[in-house]
Amino acid sequence: MNIKNEILRLKREKDVCIIAHSYQTGDILEIADFTGDSYALSVKAAQTKSKTILMCGVRFMAETAKILSPDKRVIIANADAGCPMAEQLTKEDVETLKAKYPGYAVACYINTSASLKTVCDICVTSSSAVKILGNYENDNIIFIPDRNLGSYIKEKLPDKNIILVNGCCPVHAAVTEDEAVAAKKAYPGCPLLVHPECVPDVLRHADFIGSTSEIMNYAVNSDSDAFIIGTELAISQHLQKALPEKKFYMLSERLVCPDMKLTALKNVYDALDGGGLEIVLDAETITKAAKCINEMIRLG
Ligand code: SF4
């Protein structure tokens, strides 16, 4: 059996829209209808006529797709694929923060569970965060859960009072300043492109800081012919394939997200064949989480 052909056949027959985050491997991207950052994927899937969405990514991404397409069936290809950062805080933690800082709005990164979004006021993506929170009427903000993205936003918006918590992406936060210095020394003249989930000591060595899509666009449009990639390994691999005339070096070999590597073609086939895990959210969760996301849309 040629598994790719079988996936494409089942996808067509069952009219399923497959979305794949850019951190997925190349073989998964090849069978997807849309690839890219998590929020953009959910928006594109919502705009299709397909009644079923199959997410190749991690659970919070599938939940976002469900929030944006409540009338569609949303399935995650591998039920075990989670994001440690999305689960780092509980609703009770957020309520405690609200009680401690009355009058502060709670802004959450899109990398949070649907449940957590229900107790937050506004949501941001890594590419929209500075603009959205810059436009936000409330200057007093608790930003959850990513301390590193939060500190990047705080630096860009000095007029806002931003309280940070101790969450992080364990993959990006593991990169050290020593690695940034060593990479720049090893590849002199190559721009260092870094995701804002990295620690501030790494960000200060970056030539460009941006979301996954922004990093990819930068590499495509730049005159440079070699780059150091400071985000998940798959981005370097996809760029190398798309731009063979350019060279892509990894900032750290440890920039590999184990959860993003849990989805294989077999999982996609099984999910199309009746497996996978359907994302079920109750109406109240969808309504409240959508309100949090709609605030981002209003200000974006
Ligand atoms: S790379 Fe980090 S933020 Fe993204 S899914 Fe993996 S653990 Fe979560």
pLDDT, tens digit (0-9, with 9 covering 90-100), for 13-59: 999 999 999 999 999 999 999 999 999 999 999 999 999 999 999 99
Q: What are the backbone dihedrals phi and psi of residue 63, each rounded to the nearest 5 degrees, phi first?
A: -65, -40
| CA 276/CA 271 separation, integer angstroms | 4
Q: According to the CATH classification, is domain 85-169+287-299 in 3.90.870.10?
A: no
Share of the chain above pLDDT 90, in %: 99
The atom number, within ligand 1, closest to the CA of 232 reads 1
Asked if pLDDT for residue 190 goes beyond 90, the answer is yes
User: What are 49-89's pLDDT values in tens digits?
Assistant: 999 999 999 999 999 999 999 999 999 999 999 999 998 99
172-256: what CATH class?
Answer: alpha beta
CA of 29 to the centre of ligand 1 (A): 18
Give domain limits for the chain: 3-83+260-281, 85-169+287-299, 172-256
The atom number, within ligand 1, closest to the CA of 259 reads 6
Taking CB atoms and a 6 Å cutoff, what residues make up the pocket around ligand 1?
Answer: 58, 83-85, 111, 169-172, 232, 257, 259-260
**DSSP H helical ranges for the chain:** 3-14, 26-31, 38-47, 59-68, 91-100, 114-117, 129-135, 147-156, 177-186, 200-203, 212-221, 233-242, 265-272, 283-299
**CATH architecture, range 3-83+260-281:** 3-Layer(aba) Sandwich (3.40)
Element of type H or E holding 248: strand 247-250
Could you tell which of 61, 113, 172 is best to mutate to test the pocket of ligand 1, judged by most ligand atoms within 8 Å of the CB?
172
Kindly tell me the sign of the dihedral angle through the C-alpha atoms of 89, 94, 100, 102.
Answer: positive
| CA 134/CA 131 separation, integer angstroms | 5
Nearest CA to ligand 1 atom 6: 257
User: What are 258-282's pLDDT values in tens digits?
Assistant: 999 999 999 999 999 999 999 999 9
User: What are 137-170's pLDDT values in tens digits?
Assistant: 999 999 999 999 999 999 999 999 999 999 999 9
Nearest CA to ligand 1 atom 2: 169
192 in Cβ contact with 251 (< 8 Å): yes
The atom number, within ligand 1, closest to the CA of 60 reads 5
Do 172-256 and 85-169+287-299 fall under one CATH topology?
yes
CA of 6 to the centre of ligand 1 (A): 29
| CA 20/CA 298 separation, integer angstroms | 26
Whole-number average pLDDT of the chain? 97
The atom number, within ligand 1, closest to the CA of 257 reads 6
